[in-house]
């Protein structure tokens, strides 16, 4: 019984906070993609935002004083492809390495040393993936994601251990992030928290909603202020103020925010 009461209290607190947020002067709605707008799927190329999430994003985009951004671990070209949203949506790819704001230039210019590190990374991770079933690498401008979603638990563990020890032995200062069935390696360090702060300033936002589902989203939750709202999608430890069960419920929150803001 007390669980139900807790859930009711939390839902009421979320609605109250969204009502405040909806009245802010310049709103930034910043969203993670996989696991937040789009349910997880086995092939990353097939991930798509739920239709109701997409509809809510388009409704928010049309409102005055409102910007929408996606902050993703995906490479920019992959994010543009799967999100397929209007150009007015601000995009951040590769966990904050790539930006597509209102001007089209999103190129990452790696220096010679970084390019060499990417080559070394590629060789090492390709070797790891080649020796294990259902382990594969996804290239990004400044690194790679090592995917293990369909691998056995044993192969997945071996892949992570081998990849970590070999890359760390060869490349100094490598950024490694753990996500859902994925280990990400980047020769440029950046976090979703830094990206969110940049977007907040760029959009002159007076308040922010940030929603995300994975460990890397915790960096974004960490930079939110008292007027902002952090929304965790799904299970797992979080510092976000609020939690919903899955992308379907995230879509519900976005639709409610759009509705409240259109009336505010
Ligand atoms: O920051 P995000 O937008 O959540 O992106 C994180 C990673 O998402 C993708 O991988 C994850 O989603 C896939 C599709 O559901 C899933 O198959 C995979 O197991 C997940 O790790 C993407 O492929 C990565 O590049 C992103 O960094």
The reported pLDDT for the residue numbered 106 is: 65
Q: Kindly give the distance from the C-alpha atom of residue 32 to the centroid of ligand 1, in angstroms, as a whole number.
A: 10
Crossing angle between the packed helical segments 51-61 and 247-263, to the nearest 10 degrees: 30
Residue with CA closest to ligand 1 atom 20: 180
pLDDT band at 6 (very low <50, low <70, confident <90, very high): confident
Note every long-range contact of 244-251, with CB atoms under 8 Å and residues 24 or more positions apart, other chains counting: 246/39, 247/35, 247/36, 247/37, 247/38, 247/39, 247/49, 247/50, 247/53, 248/50, 248/52, 250/31, 250/36, 250/37, 250/53, 250/211, 251/37, 251/50, 251/52, 251/53, 251/56
First to last CA, the chain: 35
Within 10 Å of residue 241's Cβ, how many Cβ atoms?
16
CATH class name, domain 2-107+190-263: alpha beta
Q: How far apart are CA 1 and CA 82, in angstroms?
A: 41
CATH number assigned to the domain with residue range 112-186, chosen from the 4 options 3.40.50, 1.10.357, 1.10.3470, 3.30.70? 3.30.70
Complex-level ipTM beyond the 0.90 threshold: yes
**Cα(34) to centroid of ligand 1, in Å?**
5
56-91, pLDDT tens digit by residue? Answer: 999 999 999 999 999 999 999 999 999 999 999 999
Where are the domains positioned within the chain?
A: 2-107+190-263, 112-186
CA of 158 to the centre of ligand 1 (A): 20
Residues of the chain with pLDDT > 70, as a percent, come to 98
> Rounded to the nearest 5°, which phi and psi values hold at 67?
-115, 145
Nearest alpha carbon, ligand 1 atom 15 = 40
Question: What residues line ligand 1, using a CB cutoff of 6 Å?
Answer: 32-35, 40-42, 44, 47, 72-74, 138, 145, 147, 149, 179-182, 184, 214
Q: What is the pLDDT of residues 180-213, one digit of tens each?
A: 999 999 999 999 999 999 999 999 999 999 999 9
Q: Above 80 in pLDDT, residue 104?
A: no
């Amino acid at each position: 019984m007390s669980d139900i009461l807790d859930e009711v209290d939390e839902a009421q607190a979320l609605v109250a906070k969204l009502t405040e947020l909806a009245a802010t002067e310049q709103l930034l709605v910043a969203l993670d993609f996989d696991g937040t707008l789009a349910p997880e799927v086995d092939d990353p190329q097939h991930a798509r935002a739920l239709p109701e999430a997409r509809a809510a994003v388009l409704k928010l985009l049309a409102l005055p004083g409102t910007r929408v951004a996606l902050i993703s671990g995906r490479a920019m070209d992959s994010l543009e492809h799967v999100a397929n949203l209007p150009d007015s949506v601000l995009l951040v790819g590769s966990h904050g390495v790539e930006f597509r704001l209102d001007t089209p230039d999103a190129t990452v210019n790696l220096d010679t040393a970084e390019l060499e590190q990417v080559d070394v990374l590629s060789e090492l991770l390709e070797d790891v993936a080649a020796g294990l079933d259902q382990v594969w690498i996804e290239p990004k401008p400044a690194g790679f994601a090592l995917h293990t979603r369909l691998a056995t638990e044993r192969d997945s563990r071996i892949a992570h251990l081998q990849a970590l020890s070999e890359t760390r032995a060869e490349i100094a200062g490598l950024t490694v992030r753990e996500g859902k069935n994925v280990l990400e390696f980047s020769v440029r360090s950046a976090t979703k928290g830094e990206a969110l702060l940049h977007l907040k300033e760029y959009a002159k936002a007076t308040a922010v909603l940030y929603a995300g589902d994975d460990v890397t989203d915790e960096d974004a939750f960490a930079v939110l202020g008292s007027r902002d709202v952090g929304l965790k999608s799904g299970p797992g430890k979080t510092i976000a103020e609020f939690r919903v069960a899955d992308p379907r419920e995230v879509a519900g929150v976005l639709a409610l925010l759009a509705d409240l803001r259109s009336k505010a």
